[in-house]
């Protein structure tokens, strides 16, 4: 496979994942707004921050309003991570790696792009927002379904998966990075309704309220939430789960190519050193410091993959 193709697959699936994550964050923000328990402006600021687009938003907008934030995240072409630009990026990369994709996947991603262009052609008003978000979820799910159902389990699939999970791990780590302070057990107002909202926000932004209840019951405890998002291997957006998948796919690649690359060593180290401990040990180390370290390591693994598999000249 061409290095460029590996690169294109990796980014195609990163962009798809990013589009989903961004639209989920918009949904979360929208829901919090409805509870009216916190200041909408502060929440949207933290949502933009979680999406990693706050700085660019502020550079391009005078005032932070809900409408402006939603528009920035859904459709702004100036925002490289908006749903629209992400899906365009996914489709652009899909075009580049067209020969590596099945017809089903190509058509799904093409449909996804055409549909999102229609959906997001104009500003989405508040009334239509839930419907639009719902449709975006469906069209991206279609690509995922076609991928699972029709793609060979070979190096093509491995690069697609690595892109997906690197983006997802990055996203979860960023949520934790922005919200870590509400997960610290020392917070004074434990159990207050404000914290409940915050915790619910976090779970909502990883689509995991149901999963959490199933595992930990109805009581939100910050250490449980942290454990769930960081270390729980059953939870498909936890850091441990995502990193485990990356290691798995790098392992398949190593086997296919008969060569164990440095990125595999790096991801193994990340997993063993940081994701195989207890949540208490994490808090002991200091949650913020820990998350920063993991975020950096994930970045390192990504950069090493680019080198190992010759994404660029």
Partner 1 sequence: MTEKRIFDEMWGREEDLRAPYTLFKDWFDGEEPARLRAKQREAEELFRLTGITFNVYGRAEAEERLIPFDIIPRIISGPEWQRLSRGIEQRVRAINAFLYDIYHGQEIIKSGRLPARMIENNAAFLPQMIGVNPPGGVYTHIVGIDLVRTDDNQFYVLEDNARTPSGVSYMLENRETMLQMFPELFARNRVQRVETYPSDLRSSLSACAPEMAGSNPTVAVLTPGIYNSAYFEHAFLADQMGVELVEGHDLRVVDGRVAMRTTQGYKPIDVLYRRVDDDFLDPLNFNPDSALGVPGIMDVYRAGGITIANAPGTGIADDKAIYSYMPEIVEFYTGEKAILENVPTWRCSEPDALAYVLDNLEELVVKEVHGSGGYGMLIGPTATKKDIRDFRKKLEAKPANYIAQPTLALSTVPVFSNKGLSPRHVDLRPFVLVSPNKVNITPGGLTRVALKKGSLVVNSSQGGGTKDTWVLED
Give the interface with partner 1 as residue ranges (CB under 8 A): 1-6, 92, 95-96, 98-99, 103, 106-107, 110-111, 114, 155, 253, 257, 259, 309-310, 313
Nearer to partner 1, 65 or 150 (CB): 150
The residue among 92 and 215 lying less far from partner 1, judged by its C-beta, is 92
| Residue 112 vs 226, nearer CB to partner 1 | 112
User: Shortest gap between Cβ of 112 and partner 1 (angstroms)?
Assistant: 11
C-alpha 141/C-alpha 143 separation (Å) is 5
**Residue pair 252/259 in contact by the 8 Å Cβ criterion:** no
Minimum CB distance to partner 1, residue 253 (Å): 8
Task: Report how far residue 287's alpha carbon sits from residue 31's, in angstroms, rounded to the nearest whole number.
Answer: 27
> Residue 10 CB, nearest distance to partner 1 (Å)?
11
b/e sequence 105-118, b meaning 16+ C-beta within 10 Å? bbebbeebbebbee
By beta-carbon proximity to partner 1, the closer residue of 135 and 177 is: 135
- The Cα-based distances of 178 to 84, 172, 175, 231, 300 in angstroms read 24, 10, 5, 18, 20
- What is the maximal distance between C-alpha atoms in the chain? 57
* Least distance between partner 1 and beta carbon 310 (Å): 5
Question: Which CB, 99 or 193, lies closer to partner 1?
Answer: 99
Minimal distance, residue 254 CB to partner 1, in Å: 12
Q: Which two tokens stand for residue 263?
A: 């990125």
């Amino acid at each position: 496979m061409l290095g460029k193709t590996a690169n294109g697959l990796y980014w195609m699936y990163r962009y798809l994942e990013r589009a989903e994550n961004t639209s989920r964050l918009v949904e979360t923000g929208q829901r919090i707004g409805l509870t009216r328990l916190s200041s909408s402006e502060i929440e949207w600021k933290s949502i933009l921050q979680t999406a990693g687009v706050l700085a660019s938003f502020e550079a391009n907008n005078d005032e932070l309003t809900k409408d402006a934030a939603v528009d920035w995240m859904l459709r702004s072409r100036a925002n490289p991570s908006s749903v629209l630009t992400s899906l365009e990026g996914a489709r652009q990369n899909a075009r580049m790696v067209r020969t590596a994709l099945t017809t089903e996947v190509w058509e799904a991603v093409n449909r996804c792009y055409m549909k999102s262009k229609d959906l997001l052609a104009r500003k989405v008003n508040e009334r239509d927002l839930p419907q639009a978000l719902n449709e975006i979820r469906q069209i991206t799910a279609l690509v995922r379904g076609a991928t699972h159902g029709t793609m060979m389990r070979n190096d093509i699939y491995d690069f697609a998966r690595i892109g997906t999970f690197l983006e997802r791990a990055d996203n979860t780590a960023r949520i934790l990075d922005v919200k870590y302070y509400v997960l610290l057990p020392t917070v004074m107002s434990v159990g207050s309704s404000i914290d409940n909202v915050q915790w619910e926000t976090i779970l909502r932004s990883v689509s995991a309220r149901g999963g959490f209840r199933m595992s930990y019951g109805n009581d939100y405890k910050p250490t449980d939430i942290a454990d769930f998002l960081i270390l729980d291997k059953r939870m498909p957006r936890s850091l441990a789960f995502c990193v485990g998948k990356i290691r798995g796919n790098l392992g398949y690649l190593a086997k296919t190519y008969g060569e164990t690359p440095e990125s595999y060593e790096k991801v193994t180290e990340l997993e063993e050193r940081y994701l195989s401990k207890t949540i208490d040990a994490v808090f002991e180390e200091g949650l913020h410091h820990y998350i920063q370290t993991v975020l950096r390591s994930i970045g390192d693994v990504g950069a090493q993959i680019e080198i190992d598999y010759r994404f660029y000249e």
